Chains A and B, each alone.
Chain A
């Protein structure tokens, strides 16, 4: 390259002014990592978590940042719902980006793969979606994994409570997708039933690709089931509902949050609204002050958000928002970005007015899940909106 004198001077001036400016800029940012599905089938979940984190980070930065004016900075990596890719991404964020807290996404297998790394490298890992019980109950001591989301084990207890309370159910049938997620929920539901001295009248599995679930459902009907527990992603769940329709069997369905992951009403037809499923938050209905604030911030920051119906999936946004706020509190209390100090500081959070609830001592040694049974919101699809059941039609 031929460097003329003029370009040399221009470049030199630029470098000089840059180095002059640098000290004026704020101190080194505190990096917050996110490893989630940003592409593929679950891309929407990664986007929701990103938005929740961004709103929280904007808020914290606007009020002066943490640790004496250091701003938070979000660094995202795509795991493509693949555990191996998730671990590679987490490594990069921990070793190269040196993130202070790492957030996880929707897929339980990905989170489970990252857990050992987080514990080994002493980097707090905050689950914002994946509900697998062993993510937080991972047996490590000390345990660097925290979560603001639903937990399979607790969801299963809540499903039973809800079915008893809302539908007066006493004979429970399970219709579960035939994969590890279905398996772990079978275990959890059986345990929840056993705790109350009950047993399921039938447990049926179906394949995610099954066209017809009538045979399985007929067996549950023949066994006398009066309420069904359903666990499956949106497509398989829709197949269950369509098969029920075809049989003409009107039976209450209490479901894990699978249906919330897609166009359930389109896939399952008019009976979609009869499925009651668990959520951690809904932006519909009367909102707390924090709820109002988050909706407003979302509408300002993202032009495509016109109201609660566009803040979707709500659980991703809400969990990530509260998770980030709690993590910020922990960093502030720790007074440093040291992983172990931040981990211990999570235990010191006394009260935090969050979106999902007001957290009171949300974490303690042995308690790494901030959201508990009573915090769940029961919802259903009315058209394409996930509305709390309490709102009626």
Chain B
């Protein structure tokens, strides 16, 4: 029982991690985030459902187009809800991203309907067995953390080894110097937002077969992912991924041992306790303020 709780916790944890990576990405290059990451996740799941189930496409093109549209939505978020405010030195992007998420949720509710739907996956039909004993998990649940970690690793490599990655890092380190070096800051930030919603979309597509697809499926996930991002220290990619896993495992273990009435209370209390002890998160570094 603990084993299946653990696997399921790792799976959910890597979902949180993926979405939190999205927070990390945009925060690193621009100091802003899309607070409505939950809506981006929902968008990935709803679009995949629409293409694969309603229109009857093959699953692979359905997922690819859904993710592409998620990335496009990220560009929209940056263009509509972040750039106009940041360029005027306002913090209103905070509210604007939340508002845009609510608009998206309600648009989807209107277009997709409020009835929860199910996205079947060949990887979530027969539970895994080891030596005849059911583990209580689907292959998909094992795949989820693998995809999560692979994406984190990919992100890490891209940011270290490619021109785009180094450009991003440069923007993170010193925006003015980066601009002087001819790095297109605006475009870099826009790409970061696109990647961020793309990651959330991946989380949505992966979780959909285990869950129900509906317009507010992402709300709680988005909230937890933000807690995870802060917990990990929003400035470290591996930090947020590991924090995500820890959060997921913690949730599963508390539910398995104490019961789910205690899960949210204890988990969020733990987050507060950790942040009180380490204000920059588990793996974050304090920002150096130059005066």
Tell me if chain B binds chain A.
yes
Q: Measured between alpha carbons, how far is A289 from B73 in the docked complex, in Å?
A: 57
Q: Measured between alpha carbons, how far is A291 from B214 in the docked complex, in Å?
A: 36
In the complex, are the beta carbons of B4 and A214 less than 8 A apart? yes
Let me know if B138 is at the binding interface, CB within 8 A: yes
State the Cβ distance, A243 to closest chain B Cβ, in Å: 8
Let me know if B8 is at the binding interface, CB within 8 A: yes
Residue in chain B with minimal CB distance to A267:
B118
**Residues of B contacting A41 in the complex (Cβ-Cβ under 8 angstroms):** 114-115
Q: Measured between alpha carbons, how far is A366 from B218 in the docked complex, in Å?
A: 46
**Residues of B contacting A247 in the complex (Cβ-Cβ under 8 angstroms):** 4, 127, 134, 136
Q: Of A40, A204, A207, A218, which one neighbours B4 at CB under 8 angstroms?
A: A218
Interface size class of A (residues with CB under 8 A): 20 to 34
Let me know if B117 is at the binding interface, CB within 8 A: yes
In the complex, are the beta carbons of A214 and B212 less than 8 A apart? no
The digit string for B113-128, where 1 denotes a CB below 8 A from any CB of A, is 0111110000000010
Q: Measured between alpha carbons, how far is A239 from B220 in the docked complex, in Å?
A: 16
In the complex, are the beta carbons of B256 and A219 less than 8 A apart? yes
Let me know if B89 is at the binding interface, CB within 8 A: no
**Residues of B contacting A178 in the complex (Cβ-Cβ under 8 angstroms):** 260-261
**Residues of B contacting A212 in the complex (Cβ-Cβ under 8 angstroms):** 8, 12, 210, 252
State the Cβ distance, A88 to closest chain B Cβ, in Å: 22
Let me know if A263 is at the binding interface, CB within 8 A: yes
In the complex, are the beta carbons of A214 and B136 less than 8 A apart? yes
Q: Measured between alpha carbons, how far is A41 from B134 in the docked complex, in Å?
A: 36
State the Cβ distance, B94 to closest chain A Cβ, in Å: 24
Q: Of B117, B210, B259, B261, which one neighbours A211 at CB under 8 angstroms?
A: B210
Q: Measured between alpha carbons, how far is A239 from B8 in the docked complex, in Å?
A: 14
Q: Measured between alpha carbons, how far is A207 from B217 in the docked complex, in Å?
A: 12
Q: Of A205, A235, A263, A266, which one neighbours B259 at CB under 8 angstroms?
A: A205
Let me know if A246 is at the binding interface, CB within 8 A: yes
State the Cβ distance, A142 to closest chain B Cβ, in Å: 38
Residues of A within 8 A of B (CB): 40-41, 178, 204-207, 209-212, 214-216, 218-219, 222, 234-235, 238-239, 242, 245-248, 262-263, 266-267, 269
A-B contact pairs, 5 of them (CB 8 A): A212-B8, A215-B5, A235-B212, A263-B117, A267-B117
Known pairs A212-B210, A216-B260. 9 more at Cβ < 8 A? A41-B115, A205-B259, A207-B264, A214-B5, A215-B1, A216-B259, A218-B256, A235-B116, A242-B210
